[in-house]
Structure 1
Amino acid sequence: MTFAIGDHDFLLHGKPFRILSGSIHYFRVHQDQWADRIRKARQMGLNTIETYVAWNAHAPREGEFDLSGNLDLGAFLDAVAAEGMYAIVRPGPYICAEWTNGGLPAWLFGDGAGVRQDEPRYMAHVDRYLQQLAPVLEPRQIDRGGPIILVQIENEYGAYGSEKSYLRKLVAINRRIGITVPLITVDQPVDDMLENGSLPELHRTGSFGSRSHERLDTLRRHQPTGPLMCSEFWDGWFDDWGSHHHLTSVDETAHSLDELLERGASVNIYMFHGGTNFGFTNGANDKGTYLPIVTSYDYDAPLDEAGNPTEKYWAMRDVISKYAPVGDEKPQAAPEPPSFTAPLRSVLPLWSVLDLLGDWTTHDDLPTLDSLGHYEGFALYRTTIDVAGPAILRIDEVRDRAQVFLEGDSIGVLARDHHDTAIPLPADAKGTLDLLVEDQGRVDYGPRIGEPKGLIGEASINGEPLRGWSVLPLDLSAIDRVSHALESAGAPSVIAGPAFAGATFDHPGSGDLYLDTSAWGKGVVWINGFCLGRYWSRGPQRTLYVPGPVLRETGNQLVVLELQAASGSDVSFVPAADLGHTEA
């Protein structure tokens, strides 16, 4: 069992082989749905599945490494093999992927390690990370009877740096842990990126979604021998809050794929199935304005967020059938999810359950959340003030959104994407000042990767520094404590945030659901303890995908943390996703 890179082709067991791959990120898909998504890839004519490995998902704290449940990469690769398909693994360590912090653990930045470079502390962490992956990857390579045929070094490194010693050390670590399959790099088909992001001994591939002939010509100049491959064929795009839902032309995408395959190139379709940024895993971009990414990672992919074939699926299947057998087996359409409502039966102000959500720490000056070891979600900053006359509260920098309260009354919001740093307080302001701070997603691309979250720098009122802070990082990992408290809470007349509200509902059918969030303001939803992710009336996304495996036939427990206000007191489920308007 061998896989190699020949003078003209990939060679599977010594014979020419064209890679027809599709991206599925195991960490964005419920584990009980992996097999279904992989099978539908094979039914479209693909022979390979590609996945990133999200380091920070496996290692949320230094010293931890989780390969269980939805992070069981070995089980995912075994599911690929069970479908008779091959695998491409991209362990980074940096992945971008519109995933929080580009996959790099937030704790990595605490000791000043120089990321994505040949820096001793960083390389020691990377070495340990890849050693932890070795028991999963090494025995699942094709020459050991497994599905893995390629492993990628770094990710579009030419767009970030050019340090060859860093790439060589990554290669050395991968070989040392037992990776024997060919190693590749990927960069956009731009001369300096292709030159900076690879090494002569690594096989270069490209990332693009259009003008296939032109981009392959550029790639060929930098990879004069061996097979051409687009290892990220962009068939869609991602959305950010406040923008529109991105769609790409089915016909143009199919045409570009046809051009690519006509040239004899191999391909990895990014994404074949995008999935969902469950929990607090979405990334963000900041090129002057901070843009957090939405919960859905549908990506306008051939297989939609719920795993249903789209028009693009069938168009791409037709193109692939011109160059490879696709077989007669086709995926069946899933039944339409039911539409129904359930009442929100109880509500608790956030202020009444703070003792359930963690422990306070005290500080003279503002701490970052990272300095407290709190790497996602929310924290409450509290101090007391006593001001005569008009007052202006100023924070050097907010990352990423702070709701301001005086004696529990809402004053307003300081928002990073609006570049807010100051807000007026009532005249003669006195009492408890609270700032509820939300990390809306860590930047995943560019120089702002790794920046700490929370309130940054100094806080002042009318130019006088504010001292004496108490900070409560909200531990939302055990939302069951709040769910239990909601069982004895009163029924809501209105839902004025920040507040938790609860509902219980039976599933009138089976399979997936779509939760309608259009009547709610901004917040987070859990069902049976599983965090579906964030919602926001800013849009474009108006529904949250609920995977069928997290649901029960009866007695499903829903908890919502509403930060602003809800215009109704019902939970509504609808028969189709609403990912928002598409006007640019």
Structure 2
Amino acid sequence: MANLQVKDAQFQLDGTPFQILSGAIHYFRVVPEYWEDRLLKLKACGFNTVETYLPWNLHEPQENSFCFEGLADVEGFIKLAGELGLHVIVRPSPYICAEWEFGGLPAWLLQYPDIRLRCMDEVYLSKVDRYYDELIPRLTPLLSTNGGPIIAVQVENEYGSYGNDTTYLTYLRDGLIKRGVDVLLFTSDGPEDGMLQGGTIPGTLATVNFGSKPEESFEKFREYRSDEPLVCMEYWNGWFDHWLKPHHTRDAADVADVFDRMIRAGASVNFYMFHGGTNFGFYNGANYQDKYEATITSYDYDSPLSECGDETEKFRAVRSVIANYRGIDEKDMPQWPAPISKKSYGRIVMTESADLLKQLPAISTPLKRTCPEPMEKLGQNYGFIVYSTQVSGPRTGEMLNIQEVHDRAQVFLDGVYQGTVERWDPRPLPLDIPAGGAKLDIVVENMGRVNYGPKLKDFKGITEGVRMNNQFLFDWTIYPLPLDATTSLPFEPISKTSERTDRPAFYKGEFTVQEKGDTFIRLDGWSKGVVWINGFNLGRYWEKGPQRTLYVPAPLLRQGQNEIIILELHHAENPVIELTDTPDLG
């Protein structure tokens, strides 16, 4: 029975001094077929532990309906890590941040309009308790005290960056203990006074998160915990990307130097991230500081292992530090697994299409409402939503005001595109309504809920109202479009003579695969949208970048015929995509 304990300001594992050298790999950002590959590469770099968050919204996608299969098979991931000789640290929510949609909180929580998140709110805690009653019994057999690989479990996540309700933290900690979690429990926070005061609880190990200046960070930590091990629970060795911003990179030598200084000071370190993976589907998060900024589909994070699992210069620099520290030759490190091939399948022509607005009755069940309601009030979590109403005319020179659109609205008058209103640029749109009136359609994209900070409670769709000048518009027909499946789309052959309309449309094409390999979709000439491969939602693309390709892991492909479906929100210069063997993250 392995047991991680604290003694004399250091860790001991089964009574022997132990230094945690860990890397974060999120099972939910990697197809299960590649879990072993990524874990073996973690070992090949010299690490002894893997860390992962657990996103509540993946495991309870609808209230009281649980999922622990496929990408959500956290038990399978933890067992595999143990079989490969790795220890495991789990950070089991309810909140994870992680640049993940809503910080891992399920969107259906927002159906309760008065709910208070991440505090001693009775409604919120009742949902957390029910989730923990389902989740924690799945983890307890995997604890090191029961012969499993889990050596430590986190309480909440960076709570001091959000609040100071230490009664809430204590409630969560005691709830873990009550459900049988008897391994080391810990909190993690930034190395600042307010964060360490609000996010830690007596009797529970504290850790700190940072990307540089380790001496200063640990010095601040020591002001609060003088007799505990030094732990950087999140060593930010890279960073994530937002749409409309440049791709982040960090010098490998700088990363290695900071890491070397930490481990030579006796600190335990968890790389956030070791392997970032991908925000598949609609699970990317967003940030809101000065304005709303959505996270891109790739979660490459400029980490030691790239999005598609390739070794990087940073990987080699980190492995060298670990080898030097241990006094071993790099040739004696664990072996690198067999390489995964990459393939170029060439240009794929889309042969069929389906206009979104025309097909609304076939792909959505309309709802009548006096006011435009956000998704959550309609029981919808992700995807798109369309608001339709009739506007009287004539009206000349009036301005359409969409109040608090979350996050991006395309406006159509009698089916003709008028312009786009964006949350980060919410300017009124001039509209001329003809005599007799016109039909107004507003297509809104949920680009990902805020995952960090005070704007966490992030409703989606039109959240306040729609006005012509100062006159509110009432009597709406609303079409929810969660797009959790694409099988019912009524496609037709693409007309060679069709004109550009700037209307959202689905496109479908097929391609043949003789030999499966990882590949990357280039959408040059396309504008903005979402891609599905064989029914699997790969995520979003946007011509404004920085990301220029979408990663397609080989296990998503079939030998023989494969189907690709694209929702293009504006237009494609030419409905052709390319499957290349080279990623491009900008």
TM-score, normalising length from structure 2?
0.96
User: Secondary structure of 1:175's partner?
Assistant: helix
- Whether 2:496 is the aligned partner of 1:489: answer no
Q: Distance in 1 between matches of 2:374 and 2:37?
A: 42
Q: Distance in 1 between matches of 2:121 and 2:40?
A: 42
Query: Deviation of residue 160 (structure 1)?
Result: 1.1
Task: Say if 1:404 and 1:433, in contact at 8 Å, map to a contact too.
Answer: yes
Q: Distance in 2 between matches of 1:232 and 1:356?
A: 47
The match for 2:187 is 185
- Whether 2:549 is the aligned partner of 1:543: answer yes
Query: Deviation of residue 125 (structure 1)?
Result: 1.3
Q: Distance in 2 between matches of 1:38 and 1:107?
A: 33
Q: Distance in 1 between matches of 2:172 and 2:395?
A: 60
Q: How does 1:4-403 map to 2 (within 5 A)?
A: 4-111=5-112, 112-324=114-326, 327-390=333-396, 391-403=398-410
Task: Say if 1:184 and 1:205, in contact at 8 Å, map to a contact too.
Answer: yes
Query: Deviation of residue 328 (structure 1)?
Result: 4.8
Query: Deviation of residue 462 (structure 1)?
Result: 2.9
Q: Aligned residue pairs: how many?
A: 576
The gaps in structure 1 that reach 5 residues or longer are none
**Residues 436-484 of structure 1 deviation map (CA, whole Å, 9 limit, x = unaligned):** 00011100011111221111212121322211100000141121222xx
The gaps in structure 2 that reach 5 residues or longer are none
Task: Say if 1:525 and 1:558, in contact at 8 Å, map to a contact too.
Answer: yes
Query: Deviation of residue 491 (structure 1)?
Result: 4.7
Task: Say if 1:25 and 1:52, in contact at 8 Å, map to a contact too.
Answer: yes
Say if 1:247 and 1:545 are closer, same or farther in 2 by CA, change over 3 A.
same
Q: Which amino acid aligns with 1:472?
A: Y
Task: Say if 2:341 and 2:518, in contact at 8 Å, map to a contact too.
Answer: no
Q: Which amino acid aligns with 2:485?
A: A
**Residues 248-267 of structure 1 deviation map (CA, whole Å, 9 limit, x = unaligned):** 11110010000001101111
User: Secondary structure of 2:424's partner?
Assistant: helix
Farther off after superposition, 189-198 or 405-414: 189-198
**Residues 174-202 of structure 1 deviation map (CA, whole Å, 9 limit, x = unaligned):** 00111000101111111221122101211
- Whether 2:578 is the aligned partner of 1:566: answer no
Q: Superposition RMSD on alpha carbons, in Å?
A: 1.5
Q: Which amino acid aligns with 1:450?
A: K
Query: Deviation of residue 573 (structure 1)?
Result: 1.3
Task: Say if 2:40 and 2:336, in contact at 8 Å, map to a contact too.
Answer: no
Q: Distance in 2 between matches of 1:541 and 1:217?
A: 38
Task: Say if 1:393 and 1:461, in contact at 8 Å, map to a contact too.
Answer: yes
User: Secondary structure of 1:518's partner?
Assistant: coil
Q: Quick one: which of 516, 528, 534 aligns to 1:510?
A: 516
Q: Distance in 1 between matches of 2:364 and 2:180?
A: 42
**Residues 386-444 of structure 1 deviation map (CA, whole Å, 9 limit, x = unaligned):** 22231321122111111000111100011101133x21112526221100000111000
Task: Say if 1:235 and 1:253, in contact at 8 Å, map to a contact too.
Answer: yes
Q: Distance in 2 between matches of 1:321 and 1:357?
A: 56
Query: Deviation of residue 103 (structure 1)?
Result: 0.7
Q: Distance in 2 between matches of 1:410 and 1:40?
A: 49
User: Secondary structure of 1:51's partner?
Assistant: strand
Task: Say if 1:309 and 1:331, in contact at 8 Å, map to a contact too.
Answer: no
Query: Deviation of residue 214 (structure 1)?
Result: 1.9
Task: Say if 2:37 and 2:337, in contact at 8 Å, map to a contact too.
Answer: no
The match for 2:485 is 478
Task: Say if 1:189 and 1:219, in contact at 8 Å, map to a contact too.
Answer: yes
Task: Say if 2:166 and 2:201, in contact at 8 Å, map to a contact too.
Answer: yes
TM-score, normalising length from structure 1?
0.96
Task: Say if 2:12 and 2:18, in contact at 8 Å, map to a contact too.
Answer: yes
Q: Which amino acid aligns with 1:375?
A: N
Q: Which amino acid aligns with 1:415?
A: E
Say if 1:211 and 1:492 are closer, same or farther in 2 by CA, change over 3 A.
farther
Task: Say if 1:360 and 1:472, in contact at 8 Å, map to a contact too.
Answer: yes
Q: Which amino acid aligns with 1:529?
A: G
User: Secondary structure of 1:351's partner?
Assistant: coil
Q: Distance in 1 between matches of 2:359 and 2:441?
A: 15
Query: Deviation of residue 353 (structure 1)?
Result: 2.3
The match for 1:519 is 525
Percent sequence identity is 41
Q: Distance in 2 between matches of 1:25 and 1:493?
A: 46
Q: Which amino acid aligns with 1:297?
A: Y
Q: Which amino acid aligns with 1:401?
A: R
User: Secondary structure of 1:315's partner?
Assistant: helix
**Residues 94-138 of structure 1 deviation map (CA, whole Å, 9 limit, x = unaligned):** 110000111111221332221111121111111111111122211
The match for 2:582 is 576
Q: Quick one: which of 408, 414, 439 aligns to 2:421?
A: 414
Farther off after superposition, 403-412 or 470-479: 470-479
Query: Deviation of residue 539 (structure 1)?
Result: 0.5
Farther off after superposition, 345-354 or 21-30: 345-354
Q: Which amino acid aligns with 1:45?
A: G
Say if 1:489 and 1:141 are closer, same or farther in 2 by CA, change over 3 A.
same
User: Secondary structure of 1:387's partner?
Assistant: coil
Q: Quick one: which of 388, 405, 410 aligns to 2:412?
A: 405
The match for 1:554 is 560
Task: Say if 1:50 and 1:268, in contact at 8 Å, map to a contact too.
Answer: yes
Q: Quick one: which of 457, 465, 484 aligns to 1:450?
A: 457
**Residues 508-533 of structure 1 deviation map (CA, whole Å, 9 limit, x = unaligned):** 53221100022210000000000000
Query: Deviation of residue 90 (structure 1)?
Result: 0.3
**Residues 144-195 of structure 1 deviation map (CA, whole Å, 9 limit, x = unaligned):** 0100000001111111111121111011100011100010111111122112
Q: Distance in 2 between matches of 1:372 and 1:173?
A: 32
Q: Which amino acid aligns with 2:18?
A: F
Query: Deviation of residue 235 (structure 1)?
Result: 0.8
Q: Distance in 1 between matches of 2:237 and 2:582?
A: 22
